[in-house]
Structures are given as C-alpha cells and as structure tokens.
Amino acid sequence: MDFRAQFVRIQGEHTASRDGNNNYSSFNVESCRNSNFLYNSRNCISCHKCDSLVDCVQCVDCSHCAFCVGLNGASFHILNEEYPEHEYYRKLKEMGIDPNVQAF
C-alpha cells in the first residue's frame, strides 16, 4: 500500500468527522459516545473539547479527569474532586486505572 493510501486509511479510522458512536472530530478515543473534539479519552459520554478523560459524562473543556460528571474547565479531578497533578496520577495508579488511551 502506498503512503498516501495508508494515510487516508488511518485518517478515516481515527479522525472521522462523525463516527458510528456519534463522536465528532475526536482522536484516539475508545468507547466514547456523543462527544465532540475529544482526545485521548475512553468511556466518555457527551463530553466536549476535552483531553485525557476516563469514564466522564457531560464534561466541557476539561483535561486529565476521571469518573467526573458535569465539570467545565476542570483539570486533574477524580469524582469531581480536584487533586494536585502528582496526586491525581498516584490515586489512579492505586485504583488500578491506566490513564493512557491507546485506541489504535
């Protein structure tokens, strides 16, 4: 397969305008639904303009959050509670949660 064809295939798999789960302009997402501009996240529902979320619902403009609902502009939260960055990763590790998403 030539370079251009391979690029188009990969782009279609990972950056589709709207995929089967109704995600729009999302990249490296796993099991997310009804989300827009979502990156490096998994198991999220109706999240928008977010990066590095795990199991979040209706969050907007957030990054590095896990198991949160309805946050706006938050970073490093677990169950809607804010943590310092190093504590956030330590707590996730204690819970056995890998914050990294490798959807492809």
Per-residue confidence at 14, pLDDT binned at 50, 70, 90? low
pLDDT at 17: 47
Check whether 91 has a pLDDT greater than 90.
yes
- Neighbouring CB atoms inside 10 A of 101's CB total 19
Residue carrying structure tokens 């490093």:
76
pLDDT at 81: 94
Per-residue confidence at 6, pLDDT binned at 50, 70, 90? confident
DSSP assignment, residue 11?
Answer: H
Query: What confidence tens digit (pLDDT) does each residue in 39-74 have?
Result: 999 999 999 999 999 999 999 999 999 999 999 999
Q: Is residue 89 helix, strand or coil?
A: helix
